């Protein structure tokens, strides 16, 4: 019969039946969260549209740009690729959970311009700063490769993350 899974809700409405609903409970930015979702919802859409956390941005919708990066159980993921039901019982942190002071090195080094990539870059940068041991096997540029930026050219981003790492090492 053709169609895609994203049309399911529309077809249900045409038949006069409600689309299926799942109650999703998880920890969001350190607090319990419960929301009703359609089984086809992406985490990105639940965060932005159902929970009002618009800091997480949609760039490509295909997991290529990193604008939608969040932490899922402590690891950076592209929320546009995560079916929302997969976060049941999990811990999710968004850019809204970050300490603004932690972003200062990115601002000082010119790592932001248009802002489209900034939330994802900030999430990845803060994750790297929290896990400096990964730099034993990966370069900063490799770790930031999943976050595309069309404005800055990456030098400011890399310099900002390095400055944050250096400040952490001194603390």
Residues 6+ apart with CB under 8 A from 161: 105, 106, 111, 125, 128, 129, 140, 144
Per-residue pLDDT, averaged over 45-71, amounts to 97
pLDDT number for residue 40: 95
pLDDT number for residue 3: 47
Q: 160 pLDDT band (50/70/90 cuts)?
A: very high
**pLDDT of the residue at 24:** 97
Please tell me the distance from the alpha carbon of residue 122 to that of residue 102, in angstroms, as a whole number. 9
**pLDDT, greater one: 139 or 16:** 139
Helix (H, G, I), strand (E, B) or coil at 142: helix
CA 170, 130, 162 angle in degrees (round to 5)? 55
Question: Residue 1 pLDDT > 70, yes or no?
Answer: no
What CATH number belongs to 98-170? 1.10.150.120
Within the chain, all domains assigned CATH 3.10.20.30 are found at: 5-96
**Given a cut of 70, is residue 154 above it in pLDDT?**
yes
Handedness of CA 36, 119, 105, 139 (dihedral sign): positive
Task: Reply yes or no on whether the pLDDT at 127 is more than 90.
Answer: yes
- Residue 18 banded pLDDT, cuts 50, 70, 90: confident
Where, residue-wise, is CATH 1.10.150.120 in the chain?
Answer: 98-170
CATH code given to domain 5-96:
3.10.20.30
Complete edge-to-edge strand list for the sheet that includes strand 22-28: 31-37, 22-28, 91-93, 69-72, 75-78
Residue 38 pLDDT exceeds 50: yes
Given a cut of 50, whether residue 41 has pLDDT beyond it is yes
């Amino acid at each position: 019969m053709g169609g895609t899974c994203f049309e399911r809700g529309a077809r249900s409405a045409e038949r006069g039946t409600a689309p299926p609903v799942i109650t999703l409970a998880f920890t969001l930015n350190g607090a319990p969260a419960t929301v009703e979702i359609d089984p086809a919802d992406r985490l990105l859409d639940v965060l932005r549209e159902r929970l009002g956390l618009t800091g997480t941005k949609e760039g490509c919708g295909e997991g290529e740009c990193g604008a939608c990066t969040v932490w899922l159980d402590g690891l950076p993921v592209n929320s546009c690729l995560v079916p929302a039901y997969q976060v049941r019982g999990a811990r999710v942190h968004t850019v809204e959970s970050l300490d603004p002071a932690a972003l200062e090195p990115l601002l000082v080094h010119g790592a932001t311009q248009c802002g489209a990539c900034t939330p994802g870059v900030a999430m990845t940068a803060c994750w790297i700063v929290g896990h400096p041991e990964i730099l034993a096997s990966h370069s900063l540029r490799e770790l930031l490769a999943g976050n595309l930026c069309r404005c800055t050219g990456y030098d400011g981003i890399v310099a900002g993350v390095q400055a944050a790492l250096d400040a952490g090492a001194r603390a």
